[in-house]
């Protein structure tokens, strides 16, 4: 999946916004103000950081060369997915969905209600 396809996929999710809170090279996707994906635009090899359930994160790292502990992130809760490795578009989409859902599930009740009303 190319950067623009990832961007479009993320922005289709309810309550999602995009911004550059750290620098002009790292696009961050948030749901209701909480990060669920970081897309470094100039990193080589191209990658995306995604939140992940800790046990599932370990499982993924063991079974895919292109999934490593989150670069500059909490390595227990974040994975870096190398986009040119052994992660196909379907798995990447599932991992983005998983990250989004993890963040949504942790939102305060008020924000969940707002999200459900969008």
Which CATH number do you get for residue 57? Answer: 3.90.1150.30
Q: Which pLDDT belongs to residue 10?
A: 98
Question: What total number of domains does the chain contain?
Answer: 1
Rounded distance, CA 17 to CA 30, Å? Answer: 5
Q: Which pLDDT belongs to residue 110?
A: 95
Does residue 118 lie within any of the structural domains? Answer: no
Q: How far is CA 105 from CA 36, 69, 84, 87, 100, in A?
A: 12, 22, 30, 25, 9
* Domain interval for residue 21: 3-112
> For residue 44, is pLDDT > 90?
no
Nearest alpha-carbon partner for 25 in 13, 48, 41, 49:
41
Taking each helix axis from N to C end, the angle separating 3-11 and 89-106, rounded to the nearest 10 degrees, works out to: 40
> For residue 2, is pLDDT > 90?
no
Does residue 65 lie within any of the structural domains? Answer: yes
The pLDDT of 38-65, averaged and rounded, is 95
Does residue 92 lie within any of the structural domains? Answer: yes
> For residue 14, is pLDDT > 90?
yes
Q: Which pLDDT belongs to residue 104?
A: 98
Q: Look over the chain and give the mean of its residue pLDDT values, rounded to a whole number.
A: 95
pTM: 0.95
Does residue 29 lie within any of the structural domains? Answer: yes
Distance of alpha carbon 71 from its chain centroid, rounded? 12
């Amino acid at each position: 999946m190319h950067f623009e396809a990832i961007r479009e996929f993320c922005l289709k999710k309810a309550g999602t916004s995009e911004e550059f809170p750290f620098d002009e090279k790292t696009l961050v996707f948030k749901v209701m103000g909480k990060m669920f994906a970081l897309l470094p635009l100039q990193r080589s090899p191209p990658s995306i950081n995604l939140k992940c359930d800790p046990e599932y994160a370990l499982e993924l790292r063991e079974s895919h060369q292109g999934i490593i502990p989150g670069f500059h992130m909490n390595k227990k809760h974040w994975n870096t997915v190398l986009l040119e490795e052994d992660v196909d578009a379907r798995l990447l989409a599932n991992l983005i969905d998983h990250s989004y859902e993890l963040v949504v599930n942790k939102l305060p009740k008020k924000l969940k209600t707002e999200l459900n009303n969008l």
